[in-house]
Structure 1
Amino acid sequence: MINYFEFYNIPESFILDEKALKAKYYQLSREYHPDFYANEPQQKQDEILQLSTQNTNAYRTLSDPDLRIQYILKEHGVLEEGKNELPSDFLMEMMELNEELMELEFDFDAAKLHEIGEKSSGLMATMDNDILPVLQRYPELHGVTKEEALQEIKTYYLKKKYLLRIQETLSKFAARS
């Protein structure tokens, strides 16, 4: 299966022109629409169906910033099942947030819930700001190898996933109160 960036004939990047991506998706959707190939031999119909499916999957992946990061990291073999370690200071911070959330389970406190929410949102905003220059410059990096940049983006991605789980728990608490 062809790489999604190659499929759309665009350079690999973490930050894409959303309008151009959507235009390419619609162009290929028309080009590979199975109905236009109904009278073709079965082999051609199968090929078009495969291209149509690839177009949908490529657009779904590349149009979502988190899925796009995950896709690029996997394409470069940086994101591997079970081999994704986070810095211990971050894990300690998350452990403290999780403990605070467990305490809320037994002794709900709206102010504490708000405080945890602010803390996790602040962490997320700081992480987003810190990684943005790397995402913008990739793959044209100065003073950093592509591999180092991908490792930095991987750490950001994994931290973000962790924080999103905490924010999901927070929203469940908020829904109950």
Structure 2
Amino acid sequence: MTYFELYNLPESFMLDEKALKNTYYKLSREYHPDFYANEPQEKQQEILQLSTQYTNAYRTLSNPDLRMQYILKEHGLLEEGKNEIPSDFLMEMMDINEELMELEFDFDADKFHEIGEKTSGVVAQLDNDVLPVLQRYPELHGVTKEEALQQIKTYYLKKKYLLRIQETLSKFAARS
């Protein structure tokens, strides 16, 4: 059973967060282990497993990045070591990475801010480009579900790459 089925929600990148939270609170109260303290050990273990499953599902579904990762994994699209980022994007990022290496040896505050702005701009453009696909998924017009998932996978991988660059920038900021 998927996390979406567990919460009786349709698979979606743009969830009804209020419905998710309400269902989570309802299930947490219903399956809280403390309410089963006088039950046989077998029943207590079953309730503990259910409670853990509901909590893990909620944590995943309530976080947009984890939800995206979960959906992509459920469809077999994220495999360890087999996720290719488009080469044109990598070439663009190579320039940014070279600038970061230069900062390592010769810190320049203006260059630091320029790289931060550039990275934020790329993230904003990625978010803007993928938003229509996320909003319409899985009811897409002119695009198959598989094509949409591939677009979302590419977005996810690019954003993950950019987050690593932003983490590096944060380390520079902490040092200066």
Q: TM-score, normalised by structure 1?
A: 0.98
Offset, 1:174: 1.2
- In 1, the alpha carbon distance for the partners of 2:17 and 2:111 equals 38
Aligned residue number for residue 18 of structure 1: 17
Counterpart position of 2:68: 69
DSSP-derived class of the 1:14 partner: coil
Where do residues 44-123 of structure 1 align in structure 2 (5 Å cutoff)? 44-123=43-122
Structure 2 unaligned spans of 5+: none
Q: Residues of 1 paired with 2:88 and 2:77: CA distance?
A: 21
User: What residue number does 1:38 align with?
Assistant: 37
> C-alpha distance in 2, partners of 1:3/1:41?
28
CA distance in 2, matches of 1:19, 1:8: 12
Identity over aligned pairs, percent: 85
Return structure 1 stretches of 4+ with deviation > 2 angstroms: none
Q: Which amino acid aligns with 1:50?
A: Q
SS in 2 for 1:77: coil
Size of the alignment, in residue pairs? 176
| Distance apart, 1:175 and its partner CA | 1.5
For 1:73 and 1:118, how far apart are their aligned partners in 2? 29
TM-score of the superposed pair, with normalisation by structure 2? 0.98
Deviations 1:57-88 (A, max 9, x none): 00110011000000000001011111100110
Report the Cα offset of residue 45 of structure 1.
1.1
Point out where structure 1 has 5 or more consecutive residues left out of the alignment.
none
Letter in 1 for 2:65: D
